[in-house]
Every structure is written in structure tokens, then in C-alpha cells.
Amino acid sequence: MLTISRDKVYDRLDKNIPPSAICESGETVIFETRDCYDDSVTSEERPLGDREDALGNPATGPLYINGADAGDVLKVEILDISLHSRGVMCASFSWGIFAGRLPEAKAVMYEIEGDKIRFDDTLLLDCCPMIGVIGTAPAGEGIATSVPDVHGGNMDCRKIGAGTVLYLPVAVPGALLSMGDLHALMGDGEVFGCGLEIAGTVTVRVSVLKENPIPTPFLITQDAVITIQSAATVFEAGKTAARLMEEFVRRVTGLEEVKSEMLMSLVSHMSVCQIVNPLMTARVEFPRNILEQYGWRAE
């Protein structure tokens, strides 16, 4: 199986970065990832890390998919996420609700025991592995891996986990897919400025979809379809995600605009993915079973 090594990491999603691997549409690929601190924080005694050259939010890739052309949609089936045995959280002075509260930098290492996180002597938490950074290369200038936007990027959406399908826009030949910034667990909003940051491997199957009007980035889970959008404010991100979802619902159900908007207000759910990146990210979820009653099937 094609594997992209954790040595192939970059801090930008950029069409000018040469592909680290090339695959065919429908092929399965493994991405080996580093954590968001570039695996540089190895001890609680050194919260600023061991290396001055550490990248911020390194993403493994890029992967070139033959047959992917600008205007296509890249379907990314997330088959598996395997975590390393230890993760880390570091206090931030700049991001999150609690930024600036702590007088000095601080790191806490957490052990992963099977599918559990040893939080302290009392508490075991369930792992819920997710991908923080996943995206394709934009058509214009490269975008830092810390930034979410229409290409995907640092969306920090906790729903992007194993068993889900993410749809991303193709803006350049080959799509140039990259990913990283795994979390063993993270709550909506990422209020402390980080989740449980961890290295690991992600197994995906990538397929090129032609002439597909799906509103990217778009996620399908077992129970819902989800629009994900990023903007300067949470309000703008949520508004765009809701409008894109309403247009999608109206198109696939054939409902009149007023009826689709009413249905959205009854059964859709808006959530904040993260409030700590250069752009804020929000998502809107709509139940799959309702769409399926109107004859919709996922592609």
C-alpha cells in the first residue's frame, strides 16, 4: 500500500510543492503524521519544545491524484486513524478562551491506554481520534497549514474521523492533498487553544468526482451530512455554512425555498468547530435519513 512518510511534511498547502507521492483515483493511501508541535515537545520540563526549527502544524503530503483537474471534487474516505501512545497539550498565551492566564509556558503529556486517555489518577477519557488539518492546494498563493478556508486546511472539526467521508475542492492538477494535526480528543471550539495533540497514521481512499455540485468542504458521517466553512467571525462562518446547506437540501429534495428553510430550522444543527485559528470555523449538520426519504444517496 502506498505510504507517505512523516518525513514529508510542510507548513503550507501550496501548488508549488512537489508531490511526495502519486496515486490513481480509487487508491488507498497511508499518511504518517507528526503532531501540531512537529513532535518537538517531548517532556513536560521543556514546554517550548526541543527544536528551534520545528514547523507549526506540519501536514504530510502532498499527494497527487491522477485525473484530478481544477473544478473537480476530491472524495476522501477516512478508513482508519491510528494514534501514537502519547499525546501532549501546551498552554497558549495567544489563542483560546483562556489565553494569557498562565504566567509561564506549560506542557502536560498524556498516555493513551488502548482507546482511553489517562487524564489523571481519577479520570479516564474515551479517545475520539480526528484530523485537524486536511486540505488540497489552493489555486493562488500557498496557505499556511494553520489557516482554514475553502480548501479545507486547519478546520479542526472533531467530526472528521474514521468512518466519515470528506469532500474537498480540486483547484490545481492532482489536487495535492495533505493532512496532519491529529487529536486524540478535542471538544467543539477547542477553547484551550489545542486538543490532545498527537502523532499517528491516517488511512484514506481518494477518488476523483467529475461534475459534482457538492458544496465543499462537505462531510458525510453515519448520521448526517455536514457543511464546514471558515471566516473572520463565527457568525460569518455559520451563516455561509447554513446557506450552503440550504441550497444543497433544496437541490436534492426539490423543496421550495421557504420549505427547505423551514426544514433547516427544524432539524439542522449549527456548531462551532474552533475559535482559535486565523479564521473561525463552523459547521451545519443535517440528518441523512431525511434526505434519503427524498431519494438522495451519497456518491
Strand spans (E) along 136-263 = 143-144, 148-149, 152-153, 165-169, 175-183, 197-198, 200-209, 218-220, 224-231
pLDDT of residue 188: 97
pTM for this entry: 0.96
Q: Which of 172, 226, 221, 181 is nearest to 199 (CA)?
A: 181
Contact 161, 131 (CB under 8 A): yes
* CA dist list (Å): 1 to 175, 182, 202, 204: 20, 21, 13, 11
pLDDT one-digit tens code per residue, 192-210: 889 999 999 999 999 999 9
pLDDT one-digit tens code per residue, 121-150: 999 999 999 999 999 999 999 999 999 999
Phi, psi of 237 (to 5 degrees): -65, -45
pLDDT one-digit tens code per residue, 151-194: 999 999 999 999 999 999 999 999 999 999 999 999 999 998 89
What is the β-pairing status of strands 218-220 and 224-231? Answer: antiparallel
DSSP letter string, 159-187:
T--TT-EEEEE--STTEEEEEEEEES---
pLDDT of residue 92: 67
Nearest-angstrom CA–CA distance, 176 and 260: 35
Q: Which of 156, 151, 159, 162 is nearest to 204 (CA)?
A: 162
Please state whether 188 falls in left (phi above 0), alpha (psi between -120 and 50) or beta. beta
Q: Which of 74-83, 95-104, 234-243, 274-283 has the lowest mean pLDDT?
A: 95-104
pLDDT of residue 227: 98
For helices 234-253 and 257-267, angle between their N-to-C axes, nearest 10 degrees:
120
Q: Which of 199, 194, 201 is nearest to 47 (CA)?
A: 194
pLDDT one-digit tens code per residue, 52-105: 889 989 999 999 999 999 999 999 999 999 999 999 999 866 667 777 777 778
Q: Is 93 or 289 the better-scoring residue by pLDDT?
A: 289
16 confidence band (pLDDT: 50, 70, 90): very high
pLDDT of residue 51: 85
Contact 286, 255 (CB under 8 A): no
